[in-house]
Structure 1
């Protein structure tokens, strides 16, 4: 699929008013995340949701980690594509209404030290529940699926995606490297039930160099010509 067709498909996905989930797949290093970020920055005004969240699964080890990361990385669509700042995280945390939980904490502490330790865990659970309750009506990009922690299974991720689409009016795009998963991975057992369709990102060598280089200067022109001759379409290699 050409870059133009991929861009059209991604823009259509982001503008769709009903919740949906899709997969953006392609070979490692071809620039899937880079291209999606470019679409986000150029087309956010047409997004059907007021909020956007980008989440990398790299190092996340539990479903609560994933839910928390989605909440903390949520921004207004006008700021989509920007690096999440300390201020934006604080803005999200300000939305948490912990008044009831604080009252409960005060009551519990009256029962002595024995009550403090078990309550810490439940208090954290309350915060996680509130964060998840506030997540909704959002376009969410989930990246680095194959680099998730061992404690976070494919079934967990796909189950959450399904709930976010069906119950939270979210639209989800999962970025996946072709050939990165074992054939027995649960992803292949459940993906058809979760995702509406897949978009394959396979840019030509010329399309890849156009994403990385401009044509200013003889050195860059020479680099473009040589990359095309060598059939290099790996964005990471071209940037280096």
Structure 2
């Protein structure tokens, strides 16, 4: 039964005659106490009843609970019951001052229970005693409690309402089933809809936020109002620390719902927090457990995405410790803002490229106007996007607009470029794309690289490459950019060990074993240098060395071609 229908049924039951004991039952966190508090206020305001509330969970024995109930009845104040025996004794002494000596009684619980019918006129009129959390009172005997309820209703004409989760009575279930027909006048079941639970647990929020809470709670099957209230408190704590826009919150709320529900065990057979924040936890396992497979499926259906610092550095630590790292959340807010701007920039850049290629109705001026609108995203567009956009603008016949745009990007990002770390292999990570970057961008990165790494000489490049099976741009650049005179010095110079390394390095290119390499022009210069020696100084020792090496390589004929003037 929905929340409003259950509330209406409870009010109707309270208005009926001959219903001394009403039982309101429902799952934990379904809002039973919340529903009662709403009804209680209206009953008291309208003078229809004097509600007295007791949570059985607070008492460790049936005797302690009875003492508390009698104390409440005599004092008419549930707030006094927590003081236990002290208040009980005070209440008894207060009653004794109003009774004839022959009717005064001791403070024994058994005595007072026996004498209560005699003094029932001193009790509140229209008393409605509410006993909540019955299933949570582990040390209270259900038979004794229901027997006492029968005494209160029969002897004192007090109405009683029992609030409980019948499915959690455990060993007390049998006694409840045996006695409920005799004691309980009417049973009302609370089965709130998911919408009821969200409305009570989450409360009022901006519509976009509430919709996400509702959708994600429905996906998980979370109807525990206390869990939902904890989600709302978590949301409020985060919102107070770092205000974000609606778009950001709609991205974060799914994590708040999932991880709070897991933290409070509000998902039946749900995943652990570690599984939720490590979405690939099941990969690599030859035989995952049934729980792991179920967790993986649930997380896949929930579609949380890839957890990041929000979940691992902010939300989970807050749920576990109650300490919210405001500085980390502020940094994350900056990052998520940048991420969203990056996504918006990427979408607009793709739109520009798509219109350029396929939109026959867009004029050049229209496209250039769209292009210029991308200037607002200079901080989040990467060098690849910038270069591609500039290339399109060149094709549109506006190279000066392209250069201006790229120059603005370089200037805008110069602070980060000038401080970025670059190891000597930095350009190798761009080996496929760097040559496609706009020349202004290449120059900016090269300037930073040169400031960190002095250029290698041709000698050092040859020595490194001859000794290694792989190389990086820093080592290959001096060879690719070498001049004929530098290669001549390499072949004819006095450093015979360097000459040996040069022959070893260029051998595959001279022999023709490698095709399409950027080293081929340098290899041709190397052959030319060797040809000069054998042509101009054929009787020299160096000429005989060169002829021997070319013959062993099987390319002696390459020395017979005319030298280039």
TM over 0.5, yes or no?
Answer: yes
How much does 1:131 deviate? Answer: 6.5
Structure 2 CA distance for aligned equivalents of residues 149 and 230 of structure 1:
30
Paired with 2:204 and 2:177, the residues of 1 have a C-alpha distance of 42
Which moves more between the two structures, 7-16 or 169-178?
7-16
Q: Could you say if the C-alpha distance between residues 212 and 47 of structure 1 is closer, same or farther in structure 2, counting changes exceeding 3 Å?
A: farther
TM-score, length of structure 2 as denominator length:
0.34
Larger CA deviation: 223-232 vs 185-194 = 223-232
The higher relative CO (CA closer than 8 Å, separation ≥ 6) is in 1
Shift of 1:96: 3.2
Query: What's the CA shift string for 1:116-147, capped at 9, x where partnerless?
Result: xxxxxx64345666667445641011111122
8 Å contact from structure 2 (residues 116, 156) kept in 1 = no
Matched, 1:84 2:82: no
Matched, 1:138 2:134: no
Q: How many residue pairs are counted as aligned between the two chains?
A: 215
- RMSD of Structure 2 on Structure 1 (CA): 3.6
Give the Cα–Cα distance (whole angstroms) in 1 for the partners of residues 75 and 46 of structure 2. Answer: 13
- 1:6 lines up with 2:1 in the alignment: no
Query: Does 2:220 correspond to 1:225?
Result: no
Quote the Cα distance in structure 2 between the aligned partners of 1:223 and 1:44. Answer: 34
Is the Cα contact below 8 Å between 1:32 and 1:201 reproduced in 2? yes
**1:205-224 residue pairs with structure 2 within 5 A?**
205-217=194-206, 218-224=208-214
- List runs of 5+ in structure 2 lacking aligned partners: 231-565
Hey, what does 2:41 align to over in structure 1? 41
1:58-137 equivalences in 2 (<5 Å): 58-74=57-73, 84=79, 93=91, 96-99=94-97, 123-125=107-109, 126=111, 133-134=119-120, 135=123, 137=126
- Structure 1 position 62, deviation (Å): 4.1
DSSP-derived class of the 1:84 partner: helix
Are residues 76 and 29 of structure 1, via their aligned partners in 2, closer, same or farther at CA, if it must alter by over 3 Å? Answer: same
TM-score by length of 1: 0.72
Deviation at 1:179, TM superposition (A): 1.5
Cα distance between partner residues in 1 of 2:42 and 2:9: 14
Confirm or deny: 8 A CA contact 1:138 1:171 kept in the other structure: yes
8 Å contact kept, 1:18–1:169: no
Q: Indicate conservation of the 8 Å contact 1:215/1:221, yes or no.
A: no
Whole-Å separation in 1 of the counterparts to 2:191 and 2:215: 19
- Higher percent of residues as helix: 2
Could you tell me how far apart the structure 1 residues matched to 2:151 and 2:116 are? 15
1:29 lines up with 2:29 in the alignment: yes
Q: Match for residue 492 of structure 2?
A: none
